[in-house]
Structure 1
Amino acid sequence: MKLVAVDLGGTHARFALAEVEPGGRPRMEEARKYKTADYPDLPAAWAAFAKDCGCDLPPAASIAIAGPVEGELIRFTNSSWTIRPKTIAADLGVDKVHLMNDFAAMAAAVSVLKDDELVYIGGPPGDLPDEGVTSVIGPGTGLGVAQLLRRDGRAAVLPTEGGHLDFAPLDPVEERLLQRLRTRYRRVSTERIASGPGLSNIYESLAATEGVAIVPVEDPVLWQAAIDGTNRLAASALDRFIMILGSVAGDLALAHGANAVVLTGGLSNRIKDRIAGPLFNERFRAKGRFEKRMGQFPIRLAVHPDPGLLGAATAFGTDLE
């Protein structure tokens, strides 16, 4: 069966045609990406994809959404778009629409990834466990979190909003960061720090501590300077970001009762060499009485170029079983 797979994030909407069948890995065609800010809503971006595709789109869609998929009106956590589940099929001109959380889609993708699409980050070598819970985590416009449960040869996906847990500082640097953010936000979640926009919050806090005047820059510029090392303070902020991400990933894995962790997304792939280093892994394991157990978790990075699209299509195929 052919369908349109859609991955709707806070910054971009991605589309691809896919061929799905029960119990198999979908066959994906070329993905196309559109900035959500350039379109008033999903139907407008859908029309742009149809035009660029130059073909009649199939009458089915599987859509991964950055936010909770519930209620009569779905609002995006980091975008002005909205979706009404009861009318979205008619709005897009299709017969069937499957809606799911974007990180549930990421977890569905992990269930069908090949070994060479899961790069070693930490823990013991080898394949992911055949049984148990894998925590799927990805910093992007927000912090996405889901669970993949494997049992008796089957896989089930459990969406979560784990990125909105309270941020827990572990040293004076992070205490100062938390206090600074508390003057701006009533509640400081992990997503305020362990996400793409979070680097700027860390950068500004370090600058304030050192008494250094900085010129605010857009997030992409700051990230590039941090990765390149052309800005000392930005590079230090990135080191701290890696540490905090390691702490958060370990906390989530414990809370999920997991036995493995997979990191996903474009940002994780940009900094994969740093994530594979000691700053992330030491913080991941630093869980007091559970430190030995944390060292037994395989930690991998999903390197598939469009896991959200693959996962959306995979979930649709699972529903056909």
Structure 2
Amino acid sequence: MTAFASSPASPTPAHAGGVRLLADIGGTNARFALEPGPGRFEAIEVLSCHDHATLADAIRAYLALPQVAVLHGGIRHAAIAIANPVVGDQVRMTNHHWAFSIEALRLECGFDTLLVVNDFSALARSLPHLGDQKLQVGGGAPEPGAAIGLLGAGTGLGVSGLIPATNGKPGWTALRSEGGHVSFSPVNEMEVAILQYAWREFEHVSSERLLSGAGVELIYRALSDRAGRPGEQLTAPEISRRALSGECALCDQVLEAFCGMLGTAAGNLAITLGAQGGVYIGGGIVPRLGQRFIDSSFRSRFEQRGRFSGYMAQIPTYVITAEYPAFVGVSAILSEKLSPAS
């Protein structure tokens, strides 16, 4: 399986240091790819995090796959985007049990270079290169050279952004944000009720508690409780399936609440960053909603800013439709690390 591969008619040169290993690690899945040359990703595989005791085990399992092993003669340089803060050498995942030392992992896997970065910082770096692999929701047009916002709901809620370089050279700086853990802010009576229900389970209710897969399930329990009829214990995929098939009005109400909350969060990010270059929505949940997301209150809630509604209406919002965009960003970060001028 290949994503963002160069055309066979215009082959890209090979990396001087050999094939590179790239990974995008979330709380549920670990995505791996080999990059033999700039922007050419091959042997893309998705492994379940829960099937491997450690990240090193997952890396070894990927490299041992027959379709992967034949494509490289040993990896010298690797880069990992991970759904977690990366500060210093020690990494302990928020939404999974993996914990590791970056240097110890590098030595264990035999890499010369191992770069570990936040997954949404890597995803942010991919935004200028998406081309038509995005879907605009609502109106507005991007202002060239302006800041860009990014958030995405999946196992957790990732947040980042791009700020134009200030050193006189073209380029961007990706923010290392943990904005998914800001306190959730309700905007109507229903969301107040959802927050009050969530307080029964959590002392601090962050945006991630509701804008994530587990959050969809929490919203379902809260709305069932509000209706006075506790519902079944449903998973987020089942809630979405019932909503999209028209089987369950309550499940559809859950999705609508989720999309509205995401619109508010996206709008908050746009105002905070002055993101007149647009706000992009990634993560695993929204792209699967298709037309239901476009028809939802997401965009109206994004623009719902009182005196600033006109300002917000000019900012475009996009859903990322690329299948593996984080590889583009983490590849760029690794290339900068290995550049002689860096």
1:300 corresponds in structure 2 to 318
Distance 2:332 2:37 in 1: 7
Identity of aligned residues (%): 31
User: 100-109 or 144-153: which moved more?
Assistant: 144-153
TM-score by length of 1: 0.93
In the alignment of these two chains, the number of paired residues is: 314
Answering whether residue 59 of structure 2 is matched by residue 40 of structure 1, we say no
Unaligned runs of 5+ in 2: 1-14
State the shift of 1:316 in Å: 1.2
Q: Is the 8 A contact 2:210 2:219 kept in 1?
A: yes
Answering whether residue 50 of structure 2 is matched by residue 50 of structure 1, we say no
Q: Which of 252, 257, 271 does residue 254 from structure 1 map onto?
A: 271
2:147 corresponds in structure 1 to 133
1:117 corresponds in structure 2 to 133
Answering whether residue 285 of structure 2 is matched by residue 271 of structure 1, we say no
Q: Is the 8 A contact 1:242 1:274 kept in 2?
A: no
1:73 corresponds in structure 2 to 90
1:173 corresponds in structure 2 to 190
Q: Which of 295, 315, 318 does residue 333 from structure 2 map onto?
A: 315
Q: Is the 8 A contact 2:31 2:46 kept in 1?
A: yes
State the shift of 1:57 in Å: 4.0
Amino acid at match of 1:206: L
Distance 1:140 1:266 in 2: 5
Q: Is the 8 A contact 1:7 1:63 kept in 2?
A: yes
CA deviations 1:110-137 (Å, max 9, x no partner) are 12221x1121112225xx4431210011
1:81-100 equivalent positions in 2, closer than 5 A = 81-100=98-117
Distance 2:306 2:236 in 1: 34
Amino acid at match of 1:122: G
Partner SS for 2:81 = strand
State the shift of 1:72 in Å: 3.4
Partner SS for 1:258 = coil
Q: Which of 288, 293, 299 does residue 306 from structure 2 map onto?
A: 288
- 4+ residue runs over 4 A deviation: none
Q: Is the 8 A contact 2:259 2:296 kept in 1?
A: no
1:146 corresponds in structure 2 to 160
CA deviations 1:235-262 (Å, max 9, x no partner) are 1100111111101110111112211101
Partner SS for 2:234 = coil
2:230 corresponds in structure 1 to 213
Partner SS for 1:71 = coil
Distance 1:46 1:71 in 2: 21
- Which structure has the bigger radius of gyration? 2
Partner SS for 1:159 = coil
Distance 2:128 2:105 in 1: 28
Distance 1:240 1:203 in 2: 10
Amino acid at match of 2:79: S
Amino acid at match of 1:139: A
Q: Is the 8 A contact 1:272 1:301 kept in 2?
A: no
State the shift of 1:278 in Å: 4.9
Amino acid at match of 2:60: A
Cα RMSD of the aligned pairs, angstroms, is 1.6
CA deviations 1:296-318 (Å, max 9, x no partner) are 10111111111122221122123
2:9 corresponds in structure 1 to none
Would the alpha carbon gap of residues 12 and 57 (structure 1) be closer, same or farther in structure 2, given more than 3 Å must change?
farther
Q: Which of 234, 242, 246 does residue 229 from structure 1 map onto?
A: 246
State the shift of 1:54 in Å: 2.3
